[in-house]
Structure 1
Amino acid sequence: MPSFDTVSEVDTVEVRNAVDQTSKEVATRYDFKGTSASLELKEKVITLHGDAEFQIQQIMDILLGKLAKRGIDVRCLEYGDVKQVGGNKATQTVTVKEGIETELAKKIVKLIKDAKLKVQASIQGEAVRVTGAKRDDLQAVMALLRKEITDFPLQFNNFRD
Structure 2
Amino acid sequence: MLDLYYWPTPNGHKITIFLEEAGLAYRIIPVNIGRGEQFAPDFLAIAPNNRMPALVDPDVDGEPIHLFESGAILQYLAEKTGRFLPADVRPRFTVLQWLYWQMAGLGPMAGQNHHFARYAPEKIPYAIERYVRETGRLYGVLDRRLAESRFVGGLEYSIA
Higher relative contact order (CA 8 A, sep 6+): 1
TM-score calculated relative to the size of structure 1: 0.26
Give the structure with higher Rg (CA). Answer: 1
Relative to its length, the structure with more strand (as a share) is 1
TM-score calculated relative to the size of structure 2: 0.26
